[in-house]
Each structure stands twice: as structure tokens, then as C-alpha cells.
Amino acid sequence: MQKLRKHLVIILTAVMLVCGWGVWLLLKNVLPASYFWAYPAIPSFFYIMGLVLINVITRDRKESQLKLVNLYMLIRLTKVGASILFGGSYLLFVKEQLRDFSIVFIGYYLMYLGLETYFFYRVEEIIKKKKVDE
């Protein structure tokens, strides 16, 4: 699982760097009226969420399938709650360029959802492979 963890962290870092800089350049140069000062917090938030996700799902443990499904659902619920807290905090306290923030935040959320699904898939593949080898 250590090898998989490193692989997933590299993928997460690459995707977040490319998306973070790409969206930043787009907002700064192409749509300067849509740039908001708190933009760097969004990719940082999802990067930290991704690191936590990777560390939780790649821990080497032998559990039943039901416990793994429950863990995945708990992780997804936690992600939704943290996202609501983060986005809601911005919407309640900052109140600047709400539409632009919401669009960018939802875009990152959907991108992160795809990454999360890929990470779960890869971990399940490794677990099934280990069970076949045993």
C-alpha cells in the first residue's frame, strides 16, 4: 500500500498543480473581473482533503467489505460536510464575488469527486488482488 499511497499522492499533486495554476491563469488573464482574492484557498482545501483521503484509504488493514464500504461513505459524508463549512464560511463572512467563488468551488468539487472515485477504485483493485494472492 505504500507504493500505491505514493502513486496517488503524485497524481493528486500533479492534478491540483495543473488545475490550480491553470484556473488561476484563466481567472487572472482571461477573466480578470472574475478573480477573487481567496482563490488559492480552494485548491489548497481540496489538496488537503485529498491527502487525508489517501492516508485513510491506504492504511494497511484487513477488514470486511462492509466495513470498507462504511468507511468510504463516512469519508464522502465528511467531505461534503467540510465543503459545506468551507463554502458556507466564505459565503457568510466574505460576501465578495459569490457567483465566481461558487462556480470555481463547484468545478473543483466535481474534479475532486472524479479523483476520489479513481482513488477508491485503485485501492479496491489492490485489495482484491491481495485477496486473490492469499
Which tens digits make up the pLDDT trace of 67-86? 777 888 898 899 999 999 99
Q: Report how far apart the first and last C-alpha atoms of the chain are (Å, whole number).
A: 16
Least confident of 7-11, 34-38, 60-64, 121-125: 60-64
| 12's grid cell | 493528486
Mean pLDDT of 96-104: 91
Instruction: Flag whether pLDDT at 125 surpasses 70.
Output: yes
- Structural domain boundaries of the chain? 2-133
pLDDT, position 83: 95
Beta carbons of 68 and 120 less than 8 angstroms apart: no
Beta carbons of 66 and 103 less than 8 angstroms apart: no
Q: What whole-number distance in Å separates Cα of residue 108 and Cα of residue 98?
A: 15
Which tens digits make up the pLDDT trace of 39-56? 999 999 999 999 999 998
Question: What is this structure's pTM?
Answer: 0.88
